[in-house]
Amino acid sequence: MPYTAAPGLLNDRVIIITGAGSGIGSAVAKAYARHGATIVLLDKKISALEQVYDDIVAEGLPTPAIYPLDLKGATISDYDDLANSIDDNFGRLDGLVHCAASLGQIAPVLHQDPQVWLETLHINLTAPYLLTHACLALLHKQNDASIIFTTDAHKDKAYWSGYGVGKAGIESLSKQLADELEYDGRVRVNCIDPGTVKTSLHARAFPGINPINLPVPEDIVPTYLYLMGKDSLNVNGDLIKAQ
Q: In angstroms, rounded to a whole number, what is the distance separating the alpha carbons of residues 223 and 219?
A: 9
Q: Give the pairing type, strands 239-241 and 145-150.
A: unpaired
SS3 17: strand
> Residue 39: inside a domain, yes or no?
yes
> Residue 103: inside a domain, yes or no?
yes
Q: Is the pLDDT of residue 209 over 90?
A: no
37 pLDDT band, cuts 50/70/90, is very high
Give how far the C-alpha of residue 28 lies from the chain's centroid of Cα atoms, to the nearest Å.
9
Q: Is the pLDDT of residue 205 over 90?
A: no
Q: In angstroms, rounded to a whole number, what is the distance separating the alpha carbons of residues 153 and 148?
A: 16
Q: What pLDDT is stored for residue 240 in this prediction?
A: 96
Q: What pLDDT is stored for residue 1 in this prediction?
A: 61
> Residue 171: inside a domain, yes or no?
yes
Q: In angstroms, rounded to a whole number, what is the distance separating the alpha carbons of residues 100 and 123?
A: 8
Domain residues for the domain of 56 are: 14-241
Residue percentage of the chain with pLDDT more than 70: 100
DSSP 37: P
60 to each of 30, 33, 57, how far by Cα in Å?
11, 10, 5
pLDDT, tens only, 46-87: 999 999 999 999 999 999 999 999 999 999 999 999 999 999
Nearest to 70 by CA among 47, 45, 52: 45
DSSP H or E segment with residue 67: strand 65-68
End-to-end CA, the chain: 6
Q: In angstroms, rounded to a whole number, what is the distance separating the alpha carbons of residues 199 and 113?
A: 24
Please compute the mean of the pLDDT values over residues 17-25 and round it to a whole number. Answer: 97
> Residue 2: inside a domain, yes or no?
no
211 pLDDT band, cuts 50/70/90, is confident
Number of neighbouring beta carbons within 10 Å of residue 47: 8
> Residue 6: inside a domain, yes or no?
no
The half-sphere exposure of 233 on its side-chain side, counting CA atoms within 13 A, is: 9
> Residue 7: inside a domain, yes or no?
no
pLDDT, tens only, 125-161: 999 999 999 999 999 999 999 999 999 988 888 999 9
35 pLDDT band, cuts 50/70/90, is very high
By the 8 A CB rule, do 15 and 40 touch? yes
Q: What pLDDT is stored for residue 204 in this prediction?
A: 85
Q: Which residues are catalytic?
A: 163
Q: Is the dihedral of CA 112, 115, 74, 179 positive or negative?
A: positive
> Residue 78: inside a domain, yes or no?
yes
- Residues recorded for the chain: 243
Q: Alpha-carbon Rg of the chain, whole angstroms? A: 17
CATH number at residue 187: 3.40.50.720
Q: Is the dihedral of CA 76, 118, 68, 186 positive or negative?
A: negative
By the 8 A CB rule, do 35 and 60 touch? no
Amino acid at 166: G
By the 8 A CB rule, do 31 and 113 touch? no
> Residue 3: inside a domain, yes or no?
no
164 pLDDT band, cuts 50/70/90, is very high
Q: What is the number of structural domains in the chain?
A: 1
194 to each of 39, 56, 161, 214, how far by Cα in Å?
21, 23, 19, 12
